[in-house]
A and B are shown apart, each in its own frame.
Chain A
Amino acid sequence: MSEDEKPDDARLRAAMQALREDDTRKAPTFEAVRAKPSRPRALRAIYPVAGAVAMAAGVFALYLQSQRADAPSMASAPVAAASATSMPAVATSAAPAEPAAPVARFSRDDVAPLDFLLEAPSHAFAAGAGPASLDFLVPPETSR
């Protein structure tokens, strides 16, 4: 079939004509379609929602940024423990006390040794016959 010729398969044409007649029968009138109220465009709903989301994200980002700036004053417990265990050695020496180092200077190797926690007799707690004191939790160099 050349590009200027009409479709050549009579069977297909007949089948499509059956569909066409069915569609024509069910088609709404031109006036009905033209006068049909248009649906709310998705964009109209998306713009305000997207704006609100973007604004909330911006505020949250600012909040996170401000929290990050205050991070040294909100050191986590293991890091605080690390400073507590390392400070006595400095304090007992004659050197002048240095101001507390910012948390950000600690590397992963500087965290306090927590191995003594493994020595806790946890089975004793489980049996309901725990020790009278919790001294075992205190590192040896700081115990009384």
Chain B
Amino acid sequence: MREPGSPLEQELAAMHAASFGWALACCRRDREEAEDVLQQAYVKVLSGRAKHDGRSSLKTWFFGVVRFTALEHRRWSALRFLRRKDAPETDELPASSRPDPAVARETAAAVSEALAELPERQREVLHLTFYEGLTIAEAAQIMAVSLGTARQHYERGKASMLALLDRRGVRG
């Protein structure tokens, strides 16, 4: 493990919120699983098991690591009975958090539900483009698919998502 406060660690800390959002998307919005996946991804990167080769941006590369870790994690999801029962509850908000308006929370919940109804690839590409603000090319790189495939998922996902938001009465 690298020493605390290394440049890499600082960069990971700087994009932690985005990484957590991506981990949530990769774990079907399961918060506990997302924390586990992100923790394992941090360990991989900081211990040097996963190395950034500089061919893409650190964010694109790290999101790929998170996605792969989530896939690994899911393979063993059948063995959830091995989960530790003494894991601390994570539903409490950080001290710095402020109460959100109820409307915004409802919108977030509706968007989360709508996303959950989409196929995995569509969900991923929409998250990476609309949530993270990445380009389709970057999304394709993270998802390990061709640009054409990513674009197809993007277009289909966008149409489905708009229909799902309409059904839930979410207006822009």
Main secondary structure of the interface of A (DSSP, over half): helix
User: Does B162 make an interface contact (CB < 8 A)?
Assistant: yes
CB distance from A21 to the nearest CB of B (A): 7
Interface of B is mostly: helix
Can you list, as one digit per residue, whether each of B135-162 has a CB less than 8 Å from chain A (1) or not (0)? Answer: 1110010000001000100100010011
Among listed B48-56, B57-65, B124-132, interface-contacting one: B124-132
Given the interface contacts A9-B162, A15-B107, A18-B107, does A23 sit within 8 Å of B21 by beta carbon? yes
Q: A37 to chain B: closest CB distance in Å? A: 8
Tell whether, in the assembled complex, residue B130 and residue A12 are in contact, meaning their CB atoms are under 8 Å apart: yes
- Chain A min CB distance to B107 (Å): 4
Stretch at the interface among A26-34, A67-75, A95-103: A26-34
**With A1-B136, A3-B135, A33-B16 known to touch, is A23 a contact of B24 (CB < 8 Å)?**
yes
Do B82 and A29 touch across chains, with their CB atoms under 8 A apart?
A: no
Which of A6, A11, A12, A36 contacts B135 (CB under 8 A)?
A6
Contact residues in A for B12 (Cβ distance below 8 Å): 30
Do A25 and B42 touch across chains, with their CB atoms under 8 A apart?
no
With known contacts A18-B104, A33-B35, A33-B39, A25–B135 Cβ distance under 8 A: no
B71 within 8 A of A: no
CA distance A14 to B108 in the complex (A): 10
B6 interface residue (CB < 8 Å to A): no
Count of chain B residues with a beta carbon within 8 Å of a chain A beta carbon: 57
Given contacts A25-B97, A30-B13, A33-B20, contact A38 B130 (CB under 8 A): no
* Contact (Cβ within 8 A) A4 B20: no
Question: Bound state CA distance, A5 and B133, in angstroms?
Answer: 10
Question: Nearest Cβ in chain A — how far from B70, in angstroms?
Answer: 14
Chain A residues whose C-beta falls within 8 Å of the C-beta of B137 in the assembled complex = 3-4
Q: Chain B residues with Cβ under 8 A from A46's Cβ?
A: 79
User: How many Å lie between the Cα of A41 and that of B43 in the bound state?
Assistant: 14
Chain B nearest CB: distance from A20 CB in Å?
5
| A/B interface sample: 11 pairs, CB < 8 A | A7-B130, A11-B171, A22-B100, A23-B108, A24-B21, A29-B16, A30-B13, A33-B39, A34-B39, A36-B35, A45-B82
> Which positions in B face A, CB cutoff 8 Å?
12-13, 16-17, 20-21, 24, 31, 35-36, 38-40, 42-43, 46, 76, 79, 82-84, 87, 90, 93-94, 97-98, 100, 104-105, 107-112, 115, 126-127, 129-131, 133, 135-137, 140, 147, 151, 154, 158, 161-162, 165, 170-172
